[in-house]
Amino acid sequence: MKLSNLFATCTAMALLPAMAAQSDEYHVVVLQALTGPAAFIGTAVADGMRLAEQQINEQGLLGEGNTLKVTYADDATDRTQTMSLIARYANDPSILGILGPTSGAVAIAGASSGNQYKVPVVTTTNTPEVLDQGPWSFILTQPPEITIPYLVDYAADVKGVKECAIIGIRDIEAYVALQKQFEKLMADKGVRITTVEQVGGTDSDFSSVATKIATSQQDCVFVSASASQGANIIVQLRQAGLDPATPVFGHNAFASPEFLNRGGAGVEGVTFIADWVPGGYDDFTRAFATEFSEKFGHEADNWNAVGYGGMLVMANALKSMPEPTREALRDQLGKTSEVRVAAGQGSYTLDEKRFPHVGMNVLTVQDGAFVQAPR
């Protein structure tokens, strides 16, 4: 079934009837990491948003005569560039809101700028500190306290692990938060944390850490890192002699083709949480997968699905505005409820703390591909 037909039936996509009679052009910016360390996320998010933008306009989802205009820009995972671009776009009165920046490394600064200039900023990161900057900033992805329980329940209850070693990135806040949440919840389950090893976000030689863990006793290893760096860590763990039977776990940064490309056979069997089930799981998500593949010539990945949903969330808020102003967009973003998306379990809602809820999936690497983890 084509996604265009699905929109007309299953969703109305939680889009409320337009209250303004006149036709409007709604202008937003997609500010993602198209280059730099977070480009493996940002480029995929932007492509998902491009597909959603096309469908929103083709299907008239903003109401009769209304159109969506999107400007795409590169935050380069650079704080100075991010703040400069937000200032530029905030001073353009035609721009209603910004989807980005991508990484937690620049998102807090970006959120601070958004609140300074009073322009809605929906950062891709899951860092709750973005929300602390003020009412104009939002997070697109779910924070660790919502996502990590899915992984902890699987590790402790399904796999039955009892002792776990942890390797984390010390200087990237989003990964530190995911690691600390994993530590806390595993301890709550009675799992003993045998060691916590910290590495730098730009490190590439993990031989000493890998040897230490590979020669220690544990029945679980958790790695909190980016896709490429996480794959590198795991490959070096196995080269150092980690017992092949020891389960290795990670978070949704691993849900990227870059993880497979960098790790190859060395990441076989790694289990992690993800927003997207490859290929989809129902008519709506399978239609998204098909239409994404037709447009871009490759299968949709986790961050394509996240980006696609992010633009649908933005469209829902734009459609719901009583008037096309930044204040109205901010207010409607805060009221987001049950928007149909392709990620998670398919329904996107913000709670009273502005935390997004959409659900997660547990995947594993099997025969060089991402599949749902066995239970």
> How far is residue 253's CA from residue 273's CA, in Å, rounded to a whole number?
9
Task: Tell me if 97 sits within 8 A of 70, measured CB to CB.
Answer: no
Whose tokens are 């949480």? That residue is 273
Tens-place pLDDT, residues 284-332: 999 999 999 999 999 999 999 999 999 999 999 999 999 999 999 999 9
Q: Could you give the 3-state DSSP secondary structure of residue 246?
A: coil
- What is the pTM assigned to this prediction? 0.86
Q: Residue 105 is which amino acid?
A: A
pLDDT at residue 31 above 70? yes
For residue 175, the surrounding DSSP H or E stretch is helix 173-188
Strand partners, 27: 69, 95
CATH architecture for segment(s) 3-141+279-343: 3-Layer(aba) Sandwich (3.40)
What are the b/e assignments for 305-332, b being 16+ CB within 10 Å? bbbbbbbbbbbbbbbbbeebebebbbbb
For residue 4, the model assigns a pLDDT of 52
The two domains 3-141+279-343 and 144-274+362-372 share their CATH topology (first three levels equal): yes
- The CATH topology of domain 144-274+362-372 is Rossmann fold (3.40.50)
Round the average pLDDT of the chain to a whole number and report it. Answer: 94
For residue 22, the model assigns a pLDDT of 62
Closest to 224 (Cα-Cα) out of 129, 104, 102, 305 = 104
Task: Tell me if 369 sits within 8 A of 146, measured CB to CB.
Answer: no
Domain ranges of the chain: 3-141+279-343, 144-274+362-372
Q: Give me the sheet containing 95-99, strands edge to edge.
A: 67-74, 25-32, 95-99, 121-123, 137-139
